[in-house]
Amino acid sequence: MQTPTIRLGDDELRRAVEHVDAVESVAEALVARSTGRTGWTATAGSLTFGPGGAGADGEVAEFASAERGQRCALPAAGLREYRRAVLTALATRHLLAPGVVTASVIGSGPALDIQLTVLRRHVPDISHVAVATVGCPPPGRDVLDRLESAGIGLSLVDSPADAVFGANLVVLAGCARLDAPRLAKGALLVNTTGVDLPAALLDGVHEIYTDDRVAFGRSENLLTATPARGGRTRGHRGPHLAADLGQVLAGEHPGRTEHDHVLLVELLGDGAEFEALLAGHVLRAVVADGPGVPTRG
């Protein structure tokens, strides 16, 4: 008998994320990759991507566990946003100066909901979050209610410039853009969009970090003063790449060294190996807590 496939939509995935603590697993994988440890891509199952078919919205990721033959199908875009949210939480833990966190999250849709969920659960000392959706619907009511229940102040604002004012953590999620001319001293900016930041904003950035040094070298974002071979410059001398997150987590790079420096984290890796790891965590949470609806695969 074929094992039923647990099928998750965006809402079910976000509810499953409430029950998953995969941050340390991803941290260990980042360190393993950065230090050249072999075998770190091995997972407890396989992850494949394909068209969603009838009734599905966009690409679907299908994960099969090697342990018990359990399987789940979930939105590929949502899984990618979950990876980016976990990496955002790790970057915040290790690159933001110690103290109270005043956050700004700019984005929309599932990317925004998942970022807010992961930040609430995995980043300590958040006192306030300003959310700008740039003309899109606001986050789900349950997402906002959980922030307030956690004692985190919340503001829904009309523009990114309003959201980032005074924030020491700024996250760009989904298709968000940021045209603010400057950030607060000591701020950490995490760009999950893969879209170039304005040159005027980069003028205030002191160092860049990334999840994937190889992907950064291939990127045409070209944030560094010395572009990768074959790249094109925009005629703007940007801040330099300091390290990848794995090097920071492994202790090979100190990370932030100046309290008032503005740091930028560019999340550019395709991250398929991390997504397999995360899909396994989601499947175990779904089996334990049952937020999805199992159907025949």
For residue 185, give the 3-state DSSP assignment: coil
Predicted local confidence at residue 58, as pLDDT: 82
Asked whether the beta carbons of 189 and 205 are under 8 A apart, the reply is: yes
Could you tell me the domains of the chain? 5-79+271-295 (no CATH), 97-266 (3.40.50.720)
Predicted local confidence at residue 1, as pLDDT: 52
Predicted local confidence at residue 293, as pLDDT: 46
Predicted local confidence at residue 170, as pLDDT: 97
Mean pLDDT by 10 residues, the chain (297 residues): 83 92 93 81 80 70 86 95 98 97 94 96 97 87 95 94 94 84 92 88 93 81 41 49 95 96 94 91 86 46
Assign residue 71 a region (left: φ > 0; alpha: ψ between -120 and 50; beta: otherwise): beta
- Residue 227 is inside which H or E element, if any? none
Predicted local confidence at residue 69, as pLDDT: 79
Rounded to two decimals, what is the model's pTM? 0.90
Could you tell me the CA-to-CA distances from 274 to 39, 109, 128, 278 in Å, in that order? 13, 22, 29, 6
